[in-house]
Structure 1
Amino acid sequence: MFLTFLEILVWDYLWGVPLVVVVLGAGAWFTVRSGFFQFRYLGYSLKNAWGKLFEKKSDQKGDGVLSPLEAMSIALGTTVGVGNIGGVATAIAVGGPGAIFWMWIAGLFGQIIKMAEISLAVHYRSRNKDGSAYGGPNYYMQKGIGKEKGMKKVFKVLSAIFAFGFMVGFFINIQIYTVSEAIGNTFGIGLIPVGVIYTILLYLLIAGGVPSLGKTAAKIVPFMILFYLGGGIFILLKYMDQIPHAFGLIFGNAFTGTAATGGFVGAAFSQAIKMGMARSVFSNEAGWGSAPMIHASAKVDHPIKQGILGVFEVFVDTIVICTMTALVIIVTGQWSSGLDGATLTLSAFEVGMGMPARIILSVGVFLFGITTSSGIYAQMEVIVRYLIGENKRKDLVLGLYKWLYPIPSLALVFIAVYFQFPGAVVWVFSDASTALPIFANVVALVILSPKFIELLKDYKARYMGIGKVDPNFKVFYEEDENQSIEATK
């Protein structure tokens, strides 16, 4: 009874037609207003992001506690993770191969949406007394919508919806469950012991704070992406003759739904589009408002410089890694096996490369999960800071948050095991936590789109030689004269 109610709530209302229209509409709006930036300048964006991998610390300018690479690595650590492995598999298991088409559409639009939200977060960020910077959706809603536009009621409503929805994710975090599922099923260990061990290691990782997370993510994320891609490419080369058939299933079922076959129970067109979009946003976080909380802390002298990294993140996450995962699941024939979640992806790798590959990938899932969990910790800390403001109890509350953060996620593992929930059901809980913050954040981004276009125009003039530089344009929001920061040419 409860699960039926939850599924109706999530798929008919929270992830219903209004949210789908808002996300796709916003993506189309930003695409047109930006002059199709994510398509016309994709090569430029990828080149700039790649350059960050080799940027010297002495070249970094601006306030912040993280280098652009560290900020991107934490953000990639939260996007390239269980969403690519368990999320993509669940999208196919519930929505059929056609869900991948809608994942691509959401990803293509998501590139410019994520670029916009990161740029606005950096533009409107706040600063501590030591000059370090922090920010996110609540901050650009408050300063951009509440103060600059004078729409205080709109700001308060959107900010409240976003904060409430995002904090719900504190209690519904699927990372520990997915890792426990992968490790437990592969090595024959109970999910609860794996969850407990994972939680202990997570405590050790987050004890160092945000700067520590940046250094750790910068070392782990590039390795784990290459590790995962290498295995996937090997399988696709082995099943190369099945790739055209796989694309045929994806495009052929995108608008018609998928008939029942094998262990697959069938899926309607509406399931394909909702599952594809929900999993895309969960995986690449475009429009969710989470990544801007990390990027706002980056040392950078122009908001668009950091925003461009968002294009790179979505491209790598959705267009490259999610696509590879989907193709591996389809070409190995496991998509109609009746499995779901991380177990489905692990089974596909086992079919393609043998049991050793499943074992290696399980370790990879662990690495993906731990960086994702630690990155989400840093994101939620921004919300906690915003909610409590500057008061004497701030350190006490933040300390309490640090110790409480992993507990609800571990509790979800206990609940899933006790009630014997399948993976697809656990993912419904996760979907319930993403809809509200996405809706509030995307609406705020559309309201603030003129500011993003101004920043993009200024960036093109300063760094791309397109247009004329306005020497009076301020690339950072100024609350008073002491906070004036201008970009250098």
Structure 2
Amino acid sequence: MEFVAKVVECVNTFLWDYALLILLLGAGIIYSFSLKFIQVRKFGAGMKALFGNFSLHGGKGENGLSSFQALTTAIAAQVGTGNIAGAATAIASGGPGSIFWMWVSAFFGMATIYAEAVMAQHTRKLENGHYVGGPVYYIKYVFKGRFGKFLAGFFSVAIILALGFMGNMVQSNSIGAAFNNAFHVPKLAVGICVAVIAGIIFIGGIKRIASFTEKIVPIMALLYIIGCLVILVMHLPGVGTAFKDIFVGAFAPQAIAGGALGVTVQKAMRFGVARGLFSNEAGMGSTPHAHATAEVKDPCDQGIIAMMGVFIDTFIILTLTALVILSTGVLGNGQTGSELAQSAFNVGFGNFGNIFIALCMLFFAFTTIVGWYYFGEVNVRHLFGNGAVKVYAVIVVICVIIGSTLKVDLVWDMADMFNGLMVLPNLIALLGCLAIVRKLTKKSEKSKEK
């Protein structure tokens, strides 16, 4: 087991410290220039579509979801415990400047996720009365023959393991730990409750999943945003200092406290880009499964609204977490991850900070479990057929229960590894789709000019 752990550690170091930073950021830059910075040009249209489609009661489509439902299902997966722990880890390891590089990665990531959503729409299929799509469909669309089948199969196996099984263990562990700390409830009891509720939602299929996410996602986002804003108002003088530290730390970390901790520009960039991309999932191949289900007239319309998911995840929720940590002055206390974030909320809310974080962890992690389950389900159907879905659902429920009580570092590291591995075939396909996405975008924009 020690040998396996070392191999996993080496693979993770190569993927997350080097390969994926270059590939994910590179893909975002290529798409940004190729599409004439569509994330800027169509930002207003995206916000208008987001609020124009806002609904808690779904759409009228028979074969798919409303555009808003598809977005909330995607955001359910994007906004997870990484929005609390991820920002804290980046700041603790890369200094305040890492947040600036998070913004940079998210900016270019908006173009990448646009391409993912457009291709998911363009290559989706109608199966069993419902639209399904995702990377496995556009991988085989771009690459014919054995190579395409291999890449699609590799992606499917990686995402099932990374998100469906191991990833959901990570999320349930966060819920169990948070509730145990705040309310002293046994972790196993929390895990069983979460698993039962999740199982009921799983059984209902994509329609029930979407019905759940369209109601819960806006509530959880609003709850967290209000909580963060209250703390920022209470520590208003520290907010200006926080922004200053972010911009100075991005280019001259030695000029602030982070410099004394050995933080360099390269380190700030590495942790900021890595945690930002890991959180908003742009280019990772997960959210296209949700965007493929939206009933829209034009694939590019869903691509535009998909960009709003990255904006909400990184520029709003992750940024608020970072500002709370920096303005409350808890950075440098030796803590990292969710513990550092929890300390910041305790400064703002006192003992209620633990309760607030527990509730947020419940919302964030549970919606991620639901979203990740569905992404895995699409790939289980693709590999093994409809008959395997029930078996998959049972395994996920068991993983949720086990994950709430047991934290094995190797399992967590393997989740990161498979998460990274599933990005590779998706990015190869996206780069192969560049001409198609550009053609569809030009066609869409010309039709709207008439």
Q: TM-score if structure 1 supplies the norm length?
A: 0.84
Whole-angstrom distance in 1 between the partners of 2:98 and 2:146:
37
1:135 to 133, 136, 142: 133
Q: Which residue of 2 aligns with 1:474?
A: none
Segment drifting more, 327-336 vs 429-438: 429-438
Q: How does 1:87-166 map to 2 (within 5 A)?
A: 87-130=86-129, 132-146=130-144, 152-166=145-159
Unaligned runs of 5+ in 1: 147-151, 469-489
Unaligned runs of 5+ in 2: none
Matched residue pairs, number? 444
Q: Which residue of 1 aligns with 2:160?
A: 167
Whichever residue aligns with residue 131 of structure 2, its letter is: A
Shift, 1:259, TM fit: 10
Structural RMSD (CA) = 2.7
Q: Which residue of 2 aligns with 1:328?
A: 324
Whole-angstrom distance in 1 between the partners of 2:403 and 2:355:
24
Q: Which residue of 2 aligns with 1:211?
A: 207
Shift, 1:261, TM fit: 6.8
Helix, strand or coil at the partner of 1:334: coil
Q: How does 1:417-428 map to 2 (within 5 A)?
A: 428=413
Shift, 1:328, TM fit: 0.5
Q: Which residue of 2 aligns with 1:149?
A: none
- Check if 1:440 corresponds to 2:445: no
Shift, 1:309, TM fit: 1.3
User: Contact conserved, 1:166 with 1:437, CA < 8 A, in 2?
Assistant: yes
Whichever residue aligns with residue 435 of structure 1, its letter is: G
User: Contact conserved, 2:131 with 2:292, CA < 8 A, in 1?
Assistant: yes
Shift, 1:376, TM fit: 0.7
2:11 to 9, 12, 18: 9
- Check if 1:374 corresponds to 2:376: no
Whole-angstrom distance in 2 between the partners of 1:432 and 1:208:
31
Shift, 1:103, TM fit: 1.4
Q: Which residue of 1 aligns with 2:246?
A: 250
Helix, strand or coil at the partner of 1:446: helix
Whole-angstrom distance in 2 between the partners of 1:194 and 1:338:
29
Residue 129 to residue 433, structure 1, CA distance change in 2 (3 Å): closer
Identity %: 34
Residue 265 to residue 159, structure 1, CA distance change in 2 (3 Å): farther
Residue 377 to residue 68, structure 1, CA distance change in 2 (3 Å): same
Whole-angstrom distance in 1 between the partners of 2:338 and 2:238:
22
Helix, strand or coil at the partner of 2:293: coil
Residue 4 to residue 268, structure 1, CA distance change in 2 (3 Å): farther
Whichever residue aligns with residue 433 of structure 1, its letter is: F
- Higher helix proportion (structure 1 or 2): 2
Whole-angstrom distance in 2 between the partners of 1:333 and 1:204:
42
User: Contact conserved, 2:56 with 2:214, CA < 8 A, in 1?
Assistant: no
- Check if 1:238 corresponds to 2:234: yes
Whole-angstrom distance in 1 between the partners of 2:446 and 2:404:
51
User: Contact conserved, 2:58 with 2:69, CA < 8 A, in 1?
Assistant: no
Whole-angstrom distance in 2 between the partners of 1:261 and 1:429:
34
Q: Deviations over 1:77-109 (max 9, x none)?
A: 111221211222222233332322221111101
Q: Which residue of 2 aligns with 1:478?
A: none
Segment drifting more, 47-56 vs 165-174: 47-56
User: Contact conserved, 2:209 with 2:370, CA < 8 A, in 1?
Assistant: yes
Q: Which residue of 2 aligns with 1:307?
A: 303
Helix, strand or coil at the partner of 1:16: helix
User: Contact conserved, 2:110 with 2:310, CA < 8 A, in 1?
Assistant: yes
